Chain A
Amino acid sequence: MPTLRATAVLVVAGLALAGCGGGSGAAKGGGSVSYMTWESVPTNQALDKSMAKLQGVTVQREESPNADYAQKLASLIMSKKAPDFFWCSNSQEQNLAAEGLLYDWSSYLKKGDGLQEDKFSPGSLDLWRNPEGKLYGIPTLANTYGFFYNKADFDKAKLKAPAIGWTWDELYADIAALRRTDAKSTPLVNAWALLESPQGVSAYSVANGGAPIVEKPIGSKQVQADATFRTGAERMAKAIKAGEMTNPDYDGSNAVAKFANGGIPLMFGGQWLHQSITQNKPKFEWGYAPWPAGTAKSVQPIETNGVCSPATLKDPGSTWKVISYMEVTGFNETMKDQPIAPIAYEPGSKGYYESLQAGDAAAKTIAATATYELGVKDKFVTQFLDPWSTPAGDVVGTTWNPALSGKQDVNAGIDGMVAGINKLAAK
């Protein structure tokens, strides 16, 4: 009998312990959700502050280094310890989903309990669906790309500063004029490698009535380069040769500091550079303008980062609740404090725009350009998203870049790139 009694005590104690096994989140009556970002320390702190206000779910952010984020995430996935959701790029999401490693959020979005499908900026959700239409990630921060200009340099060259609606012809005429004004410097400097990438020239092509480099952004098995695309590449190569813009291999890591110190008249980059420039306090009038329009239309970039969850996700209900909260309340508060990017889920963008509107004239041009680019109907995707995207980067680096830099014939470089990528895509 004593043995039976002891067993009963142990069973009851065990059940009691199991009952307490819900973690700290149980105390609030909900689950516990972990997440990981690649953001900077101030942005993470602002996000933490906002996430702490969420009732009913305990939210825990796992520390992660920005530079080695991918490696940390990979090791967590391999050891089946990935957080409940984590920051992922569009191409990461497509690749991990193709390996069957991500959780499909399609049913949750359809339910309408939380995020609403029609409130995402046009086209943004489509790039996060796999070829079968399943949704393996939710877009969050939306990037825009454009031209940071030093108005004093434009005035000196007697040029109108770039603004919404300016054209490719104006861009090339401007950099030629700026070069004439100061023959020693390169007027257009790349702080981000998109403008001179195949996607950048594809934007030129579509804007001038040509075809895009990939017919569809997801599930494409081949790339193409039509006559308009080739014209765009030749035009760019000519400007690079003339010293009017930096080449595709240019290391733009110091460009922002140089721009803020008045050393660059025109710099290509993303809206997030606004913060770095502002911190450097440039002593001149500057602003941010979108991609130029072509003879056929204005084509603007579409690019979002997002969040993904592992296929082994244990509590999708609580995780969905946290993601929904973050998209609206979390990002509104965080971006008001740290204005990095607008949010693809439009109700979450108010904080970002409010912060910029409260800033100086340059900040207002960032807001205007972001609003314009996100709102334009015709878009181009800023990177290859299919599983062949990374090795394709090597093909671009060894065929396209040397051609644009004048180290080989432009058309031969384009042919090499098209053939190389198509070979990879066909594998």
Chain B
Amino acid sequence: MTKRHRDTILGYLFVSPAIIGLLLFVAYPMVTSLYHSFTQWNGLTPAKWVGLDNYKFLFTSDPTFWPSLKVTVLWVVISVPATLAAGLALAVVVNRTIKGVKVFRTIFYLPVVLPAVAVLTLWKYIYDPTYGLANQVLTFLHLPTSLWLGDAHVALPAILIVGVWSVGGTMMIFLAGLQAVPEEIQEAAKVDGANAFRRFTRITLPMIGPIMMLQLMLALNGAFQTFNQVAILTKGGPGHSTNLLMYKIYNDGFADFITSPQLGYATAEVWVLFVIVMLVTVVMLRLTRSRVYQGEGA
């Protein structure tokens, strides 16, 4: 055996735990879930092959699918720009060399470190219409109070606020991008008479384009798969006003598992969501690729 062969075998041996893990915990569940999406399966008794029935029912008869998709699209359209804008704004603020900036960075990043369930439970108390902090503040300011999570018109914006509040992760990635923008270009523009706004829109933003694109993809994927906020704060309600697709899938598959176990149907929904996310990601990549500055020689 030559050294080259030995190295190849050794290489495969080193990566084999990862490959086995990938096959076992990613590939296998994906293949079985695709199979189960064509079955009537409750997880308690053997699966029964039903062909395309699950998909047919989802698109033609499920009364909650289209309302849920509509809310999900609305959520993505609002939450993605809001999250990116808030993350970028915070990053710009904490990118300055002012006294105590590290403390602010820590404070803004703190919600990311805290367990999501704890944070959301806290927000549940904040939004409590009777005793919650939100209404106490409104009352103090002599403004009308709200039912918050209990009002179909307010619940979605209310959980959006929670999402934006924990935007520290996005901020940190933007901050890294901002700090990579060469200072000499900024200085040259300043000498040429460009004001701060012009420097930001003409130099900073284009130069953090790849970071922006990465953030956009991450935010899109995250928004389509939003679950925690809905599961803990609203349970999809009031009515169907916050019944995002990911929560609907959980609900159909697990939430009322004993009364109506529909794991086969839920896996069909998972595959539909997967296709939607994939399509949106591909379209966004195509739309933004030519507009993003890839650096010299890219």
Cα distance A83–B154 when bound, in Å? 43
Complex-state Cα separation, A91 to B63, whole angstroms: 21
**Pairwise interchain contact A251-B237, C-beta atoms closer than 8 A:** yes
Q: Which residues on B sit within 8 Å (CB–CB) of A70?
A: 255-259
Contacts between chains A and B (CB distance < 8 A), count: 81
State whether B44 touches A74 (Cβ < 8 A). yes
Q: Complex formed: what's the CA distance from A73 to B130 in Å? A: 34
| Docked complex Cα distance between A352 and B99 (Å) | 66
Among candidates B61, B63, B131, B254, residue contacting A71 with C-beta atoms closer than 8 Å = B254
Question: Which of A286-294, A359-367, A394-402 faces chain B?
Answer: A394-402
CB-defined contacts of A254 to chain B, threshold 8 Å: 128-130, 150
Instruction: Please determine whether A394 and B62 come into contact, CB atoms closer than 8 angstroms.
Output: yes
- Tell me which of A92, A100, A253, A263 contacts B258 (CB under 8 A): A92
> Complex Cα distance A57/B104, Å?
62
Could you tell me if B62 and A253 are in contact, using CB atoms closer than 8 angstroms? no
Query: A249-B237, A397-B64 given as contacts; is B254 within 8 A of A99 (CB)?
Result: no
Q: Does B163 contact A (CB under 8 A)?
A: no
B45 at the interface (CB under 8 A from A): yes
Q: Report the bound CA distance from A92 to B261 in whole Å.
A: 11
Instruction: Indicate whether A73 sits within 8 Å of B258 (C-beta atoms), given known contacts A250-B238, A397-B63, A401-B239.
Output: yes
B63 and A394 contact, CB distance less than 8 A: yes
Are A249 and B152 CB-contacts (below 8 A) given A257-B131, A397-B64?
yes
Binary contact track A53-95/B, C-beta < 8 Å → 1, others 0: 0000000000000000011011001100000000011011001
B147 touches A389 (CB 8 A): no
Q: Are A395 and B256 in contact (CB under 8 A)?
A: no
For the complex formed, measure the closest distance between the CB of B5 and the CB atoms of chain A, giving whole angstroms: 46
Q: Is A420 an interface residue (CB 8 A)?
A: yes
- Provide the residues of chain A in CB contact with B259, threshold 8 Å: 70, 89, 91-92, 95, 389-390
Rounded to whole Å, the gap between the CB of B75 and the closest CB of chain A is 18
Complex CA–CA separation, A405 to B150 (angstroms):
15
* B88 at interface by CB-CB < 8 Å: no
Q: Given A92-B259, A261-B130, is A251 in contact with B44 using a C-beta cutoff of 8 Å?
A: no
Q: Which residues of A contact B152 (CB under 8 A)?
A: 249
Q: Complex Cα distance A423/B260, Å?
A: 17
Tell me whether B43 is interfacial, beta carbon within 8 Å: yes
Among residues of A, the one whose C-beta sits closest to the C-beta of B53 is A427
Of chain A, the residue at the smallest CB distance from B64 is: A394
Is A125's beta carbon under 8 Å from chain B? no
Which of A77, A88, A399, A402 is within 8 Å of B44, CB to CB?
A: A77
**How many residues from A make CB contacts under 8 Å with B?**
38
Residue in B44, B61, B131 whose CB lies within 8 Å of A423: B61
Interface residue B149 (Cβ < 8 Å from any Cβ of A): yes
Contacts A92-B259, A390-B256 given: A99-B64 contact, CB under 8 Å?
Answer: no
Contact A99 B44 (CB under 8 A): yes
Instruction: Output the nearest chain B residue to A424 by Cβ-Cβ distance.
Output: B61
**Chain B residues whose C-beta falls within 8 Å of the C-beta of A165 in the assembled complex:** none
How far is the CB of B40 from the nearest CB of chain A, in Å? Answer: 10
Contact of A321 with B by CB under 8 A: no
What residues of A have a CB within 8 angstroms of the CB of B241 in the complex? 249
Nearest Cβ on chain B to A255's Cβ, whole angstroms: 9
> Is residue B240 within 8 Å, beta carbon to beta carbon, of the partner chain?
yes
Shortest Cβ distance from A320 into chain B, in angstroms? 23
B210 proximal to A (CB < 8 A) = no
26 contacts between A and B (CB under 8 A): A70-B257, A71-B255, A74-B43, A74-B44, A74-B261, A78-B43, A78-B44, A88-B258, A92-B259, A95-B258, A95-B260, A99-B42, A99-B44, A251-B149, A251-B150, A251-B238, A254-B129, A254-B130, A389-B260, A397-B63, A397-B64, A397-B240, A398-B63, A398-B67, A398-B240, A401-B239
Given A91-B259, A251-B150: 16 more A-B contacts, CB < 8 Å:
A71-B254, A71-B257, A78-B43, A88-B258, A95-B258, A95-B259, A99-B44, A249-B152, A249-B238, A254-B130, A254-B150, A261-B130, A390-B256, A397-B239, A397-B240, A398-B240
Which positions in A face B, CB cutoff 8 Å? 70-71, 73-74, 77-78, 88-89, 91-92, 95-96, 99-101, 249-251, 253-254, 257-258, 261, 263, 387, 389-391, 394-395, 397-399, 401-402, 405, 420, 423
Which 9 residue pairs are nearest across A and B when measured between Cβ atoms?
A390-B260, A251-B150, A249-B239, A398-B63, A74-B257, A249-B238, A92-B258, A70-B258, A394-B64
